[in-house]
Structure formats: structure tokens, C-alpha cells
């Protein structure tokens, strides 16, 4: 089975490939809004699951942004509800 690879950019894009880089799909979560994708953590057991931390401090956005997908980036769930707001 080919490896699933995830990539994030400093202008808020997230892409995924399921054929080891042959073709990439833009699966950018709507929460990113052009902000810096600080980290992507792919699940070691489920190739369709990934967690994305988005950093908005460069744009004066201090609300925590953390999202998860379980379907390869088709949909995203906001996980930041329980995180403290506006902590600087």
C-alpha cells in the first residue's frame, strides 16, 4: 500500500497524496483562512486521519486553531473548543 503524505504551507494550504507524491489534492480546512499551518500530525494507524495546528499570530489572530480529519481531508472537525481563548 502506498504511503499517504500530508503537507502544509505558511500561507494556509494543506495537501495530501495517497500515491507517494504522484498526485496531490488540496484539502485545506476552511478554518485555515490563509494562516500558517504550524504542524500536521498524521495518524500512524489510519492514513485518512490527520490533525492540523494553525498559527495565526503573524496576522494578530490569537484564537487557538486545531482541526482534525478522519476522511482524508474531505471534512474537518474543530478541536479547539476546549482550549483557552486569546492566550498570548
Q: What is the pLDDT of residues 10-43, one digit of tens each?
A: 999 999 999 999 999 999 999 999 999 999 999 9
- Strands (DSSP E) contained in 23-86 are 25-26, 36-42, 50-55, 65-69, 77-78
pLDDT of 55 reads 95
pTM score, two decimals? 0.89
Distance CA 22, CA 41 (A): 21
pLDDT of 51 reads 98
Distance CA 29, CA 71 (A): 12
Domain assignments of the chain as residue spans, ordered by start: 5-82
Amino acid at each position: 500500500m502506498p504511503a499517504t503524505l500530508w503537507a502544509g504551507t505558511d500561507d494556509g494550504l494543506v495537501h495530501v497524496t495517497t500515491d507517494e507524491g504522484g498526485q496531490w489534492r488540496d484539502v485545506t480546512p476552511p478554518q485555515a483562512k490563509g494562516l500558517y499551518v504550524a504542524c500536521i500530525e498524521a495518524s500512524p494507524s489510519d492514513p485518512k486521519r490527520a490533525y492540523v495546528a494553525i498559527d495565526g499570530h503573524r496576522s494578530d489572530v490569537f484564537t487557538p486553531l486545531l482541526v482534525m480529519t478522519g476522511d482524508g481531508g474531505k471534512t474537518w472537525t474543530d478541536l479547539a473548543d476546549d482550549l483557552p481563548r486569546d492566550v498570548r
